[in-house]
Amino acid sequence: MGETQNQDFAPSSKCIAPPRSKTRLYRVWKGRNKFLCGGRLIFGPDAASCLLSTFLIGAPALTFFIKMLVRIREVDFLYGHVVLIVGLVLTILDLTFLFMTSSRDPGIIPRNSRSPESDESHSASSVEWMNSATPDMKLPRTKDICVYGHIVRVKFCDTCLLYRPPRASHCSICNNCVQRFDHHCPWVGQCIGVRNYRTFILFISTSTILCIYVFTFSLLNLLEEWGGIWDAMSRDVVLVILMAYCFIAVWFVGGLSVFHFYLMSTNKTTYENFRYRYDKKENPFDRGMIKNLKEILFSKTAPLLVNFREMVTEEDHTILGSITKRFGVDVINSKEKDLEVGTIGKDGKLLPDILQNLDYDGIENSLRKDKGGNLDLDPYFFPTAQEEEYGTGDGTVDDNGTETSSQRNSSAVLPR
């Protein structure tokens, strides 16, 4: 009877593994992006700011259209309709470029589920080793590669477990490595990278043109009013507020457009311009103004590196999340990742300045030693060592393995 029960509960030699659940990649992606339409639209974590930008563009434009519709009978038929249609086209284009910039993949680089194998050809004396946040790995923090005949240094990303391609950087807001990372724009709620930089340029350029357009024709409407300019401004306060709004906004978006035109002509990103200035050496990516503008404005859009709609095994990406937490990614910020070895402790936290780059071997060698070669510890701070040396109690062990002492003191006996 017992043998029958054991046979019933004995494990079968052919175990059938349970089916592993599959899902879309965007559902288990470890970045902070927001996805719509089944992963076809990719927004940043602060995508709500896109709605604010839409309001800041649409509300003044709508006010201008209403003012033009009111005055369309008072002006020339062709003039009134042309001004109205051109303004409407500019507004639609501006909002379209805003939505394309905010909802497009900026060039997200695929993550690795495990760290790359270390290259044994590197020597520890010439390479900063990745052993602070990832103590189990022996990986150089940086590597040198050749780009257009220039040596460019690439860094290892602790979060994505990969060496970033040239000009790529990790966005701390979206938690992704992005190709040709320019900046994270709070007005569109998305990273600006290699795949949406062109639409971003078109967005800010169209915004500048729209502001100038609305300001100019609002001023012309005031000048055509009967009486003086001040009387017209006092009668139409809404138009004056619209002009003031466009005057202030054009300095912001206009200045941004001029700045990015300079970046395009020199083939630099905002991140490179403010953090890695090419002052002492030549910019390896600058190929002349014409070629730089042609590369950015008239080249093909970079292909997608991550297909967020592909079916993946959910368990594998769950393991990926535990790996990144194991290596202390949650406690290392972007500034600490760029520091040299010796400034970050084993727990991943930044050490105080006084403890950084200390020679602990030299400290140990400088300690006092007795005649036997052992460390000569201060008896005041280390009473346990003195107790073991000068204790007078005779210790015995009973049958239960418990040590007893006939004369055990509660405090250490110090020599006199």
Catalytic residues: 185
Task: Provide CB contacts within 8 A for 396, sequence distance 6+.
Answer: 403, 404, 405, 406
Name the DSSP class of 129: B
**Secondary structure class of 380 (helix, strand, coil):** coil
Q: Are 43 and 190 in contact (CB under 8 A)?
A: yes
Instruction: Measure the CA–CA gap between 101 and 1, rounded to whole angstroms.
Output: 73
CA-based nearest residue to 60, from 232, 217, 266, 184: 217
Question: What is the phi/psi pair of residue 238, to 5°?
Answer: -65, -40
Q: Are 108 and 305 in contact (CB under 8 A)?
A: yes
Query: Which tokens sit at 55?
Result: 């309001």
DSSP state letters, 223-285: HTSSS-HHHHHHH-HHHHHHHHHHHHHHHHHHHHHHHHHHHHHHT--HHHHHHS--SSS--TT
Outline where 121-164 has alpha helix (H): none
Instruction: Measure the CA–CA gap between 98 and 408, rounded to whole angstroms.
Output: 81
| HSE toward the beta carbon, residue 375, CA cutoff 13 A | 10
Name the DSSP class of 338: T
- CA–CA–CA angle 46, 47, 51 (5° rounding): 120
